[in-house]
Amino acid sequence: MKEVSQLTPKEIRSLIRKGTWDKPTAGLAMGYAQANLVILPQKYAFDFLLFCQRNPKPCPLLEVLEAGRFRTKYLSLDADIRTDIPRYNIYRKGKLEATVKEIRGLWKHDFVTFLLGCSFSFEEALLRSKIPIRHIEENKNVPMFITNIPCQPAGVFYGPMVVTMRPIPPNKVTQAVQVTARYASVHGAPVHIGDPSKIGIKNIHKPDFGDPVTIRKGEIPVFWACGVTPQAVVMKAKPDLCITHAPGHMFVSDLLNEELATF
Amino acid sequence: MKEVSQLTPKEIRSLIRKGTWDKPTAGLAMGYAQANLVILPQKYAFDFLLFCQRNPKPCPLLEVLEAGRFRTKYLSLDADIRTDIPRYNIYRKGKLEATVKEIRGLWKHDFVTFLLGCSFSFEEALLRSKIPIRHIEENKNVPMFITNIPCQPAGVFYGPMVVTMRPIPPNKVTQAVQVTARYASVHGAPVHIGDPSKIGIKNIHKPDFGDPVTIRKGEIPVFWACGVTPQAVVMKAKPDLCITHAPGHMFVSDLLNEELATF
């Protein structure tokens, strides 16, 4: 029998669909893009789609499904968005109500599904370029910070950008920009390099989410837009209902990270 | 008094607003991005926004205004979309009803405005790279062709991609790809290089729109996605009402073409 880490995206989704795998997806199907999930009732869909159009760095759309559709066409031809994610969070009026393993019973004809790119894709490219990623080395969650950079609001959605931080040796910063810039659909180039206070971060050792990581002498903190941004913005808008993936429990797609990269 | 070609975007929009300038905008405010206009009632807005998200090459969104808003925030802080375009086409159920110089009287609170990138922006970059543009040399309209490349449909919107063709000397084709790839928000890299029949074009000397241009011995026809695509797709969907710019009579923005380019 194959190790889980050797399974194809299709095999992983099949295990998830059966309820056999309900754990985080980091490290699975290496090379393939994973996606964040946001499901909203149709009345919020235009505003959220517009929010993503205006804020492509924190909200890089990979695929949007019309109201009621639960089968992807671009990220996979063999997926059901109601069952193929290991754990779903159900929010009502911005409050977490439950975490569940499938949402077939909850599904409504007016649900619009948004799948957004995630930084796993560009982290793989950084590692290939021999650029160290501290939170992976230290087996931690990436440190995340709420900044003072406002997103462009759209309809009911507004709020500050959330960023991830990776400490980069000074002689690798340019390369880190170049490598990640190719991945515009998975957050792309950094939004800030250096002094954390310039984007409203008071203490680089106290992230708002995730874990603190070691910053070695001389290393430069580099900040990328983070997929927590759209989730935070949606919670603040308190929609009647919103369904997301549980943190770390992502949609595993059939697209290679390289298929998402530009030249 | 300044030549018209020397006016700033703000000065040009002011002349247009007064009705003094109602001619095409090609050659005005060189260096600044011009935009295509599509205005639709709100009930079509999600589908059209989704169509653009799914088809970014033919439909590169520069700015979308929420229902009822007629002032841009990104392309200019000093523009009124109801008056600042030299000529508007009014379509009802897909049929051209009138061409007018302003639309204040027609404006409704549910109108959603879409501004899309145009190839003027990357043509300037091609010329700067000493890549010849035949239709400019021959003082013609760019030749446009309906292809057999289907756009990804979205809701009521579907149809084939329309492309522009520019004959490029073989030793400049790679550079033409590289130069235009930087301009993803104004159609970006070519969608096809070479044999026109591969994308369903029967006669390269008989464009569906625009003018035929000379293709010199050895030159390669290179095809870029064209902003006529979304207009054709909208007409086919026959919305109750749609307002566009009249061909060539574009919105002149305050953004430099260079501000739209990626690395």
Nearest-CB residue to B49 (from A53, A74, A152)? A53
Q: What pLDDT, on the 0 to 100 scale, is given for residue B5?
A: 84
Q: Among all chains, which residue has been given the structure tokens 């290496």?
A: A30
CA gyration radius for chain A?
18
pLDDT digits (tens, 9 = 90+) for B10-55: 999 999 999 999 999 988 999 999 999 999 999 999 999 999 999 9
Q: A205: buried, middle or exposed (CB in 10 Å: 19+, 13-18, 0-12)?
A: exposed
Residue of A nearest to B156 (CA): A66
A36, A129, A207, A248 from A25: Cα distances, Å: 11, 23, 23, 6
Angle at B158 between CA B155 and CA B163, to 5 degrees: 145
Pick B66's closest partner by Cβ from A155, A181, A184. A155
User: 0.90 exceeded by the pTM?
Assistant: yes
Name beta bridge partners: A89: A99, A244
Quick one: tokens of A91?
A: 């929010």
> Which of A42, A46, A51, A73 should be substituted to probe chain B, the one whose Cβ sees the most B Cβ atoms within 10 Å?
A46
The answer to whether residues B13 and B102 touch, using CB atoms and an 8 Å cutoff, is: no
pLDDT digits 0-9 by tens, B87-135: 999 999 999 999 999 999 999 999 999 999 998 889 999 999 999 999 9
Q: Which of B46, B52, B73 to probe by mutation at the A interface, max A CB count within 10 Å?
A: B46
Chain A / chain B CB contacts < 8 angstroms: 47
B61/A45 touch (CB, cutoff 8 Å), yes or no: no
> Nearest-CA distance from B129 to chain A in Å?
19
Contacts of B263 in chain A (CB under 8 A): 178, 181, 189
**Rounded-to-integer distance, Cα A263 and Cα B184, Å:** 11
Give me chain B's average pLDDT, please. Answer: 95
Taking the C-alpha atoms of residue A159 and residue A239, their distance in angstroms, rounded to an integer, is 15
Q: Provide the pLDDT confidence category of residue B1 given band limits of 50, 70 and 90.
A: low
Query: Cβ separation of A50 and B53 shorter than 8 Å?
Result: no
Strands (E), chain B: 32-41, 61-65, 88-92, 95-100, 111-117, 144-150, 160-168, 192-193, 220-225, 242-245, 251-256
Distance between CA atoms of residues A118 and A10, nearest Å: 19
pLDDT tens, B193-206?
999 999 999 999 99
Residues of B in contact with A263 (CB under 8 A): 178, 181, 189
> In a mutagenesis test of the A interface, which of B40, B44, B49, B113 is the best target, namely the one with the most A β-carbons within 10 Å?
B49
Chain B residues closer than 8 Å to A73 by CB: 152
pLDDT of residue B2: 77
Residue B49: count of CB within 10 angstroms of its CB: 25
B45 to chain A: closest CA residue: A46
Helix (H, G, I), strand (E, B), or coil: what is residue B239?
coil
* Three-class secondary structure of residue B94 per DSSP: coil
Q: How far is B218 from chain A (nearest CA, A)?
A: 27
Query: Which one-letter amino acid corresponds to residue B242?
Result: C
Cβ pair A154, A232 in contact under 8 A: no
Contact A49 B49 (CB under 8 A): yes
Q: Mind listing the pLDDT tens digit of every residue in chain A (263 residues)?
A: 678 889 999 999 999 999 999 999 988 999 999 999 999 999 999 999 999 999 999 999 999 999 999 999 999 999 999 999 999 999 999 999 999 999 999 999 999 999 999 988 899 999 999 999 999 999 998 999 999 999 999 999 999 999 999 999 999 999 999 999 999 888 999 999 999 999 999 999 999 999 999 999 999 999 999 999 999 999 999 999 999 999 889 999 999 999 988 76
What residues pair up with B41 in beta bridges, in sequence order?
A: B111
Nearest by CB to B53, from A47, A54, A64: name it.
A64
A53–B64: do the CB atoms touch at under 8 Å?
A: yes
Interface of A with B (CB under 8 A): 42, 45-47, 49-50, 53-54, 61, 64, 66, 73-74, 152, 154-155, 178, 181, 184, 189, 262-263
pLDDT band at residue B177 under the 50/70/90 scheme: very high
Contacts of B75 (CB under 8 A, 6+ apart): B33, B35, B62, B63, B115, B251, B253, B254, B255
Tell me the C-alpha distance between A253 and A250, whole Å. Answer: 9
The 10s digit of each residue's pLDDT in B178-227 is: 999 999 888 999 999 999 999 999 999 999 999 999 999 999 999 999 99
- Give the end-to-end CA distance of chain B in Å, rounded to a whole number: 38
Q: What gap in Å lies between CA A172 and CA A185, rounded to an integer?
A: 22
Contact A4, A71 (CB under 8 A): no
Closest approach of B73 to chain A, Cα-based (Å): 10
pLDDT at B261: 86
Q: In whole angstroms, what is the distance from residue B263 CA to residue A262 CA? A: 11
Dihedral over Cα of B208, B214, B216, B219: its sign: negative
Distance CA(B187)–CA(A202), nearest Å, equals 41
Residue A261 contacts residue A122 (beta carbons within 8 Å): no
For the record, the structure tokens of A132 come out as 């160290």
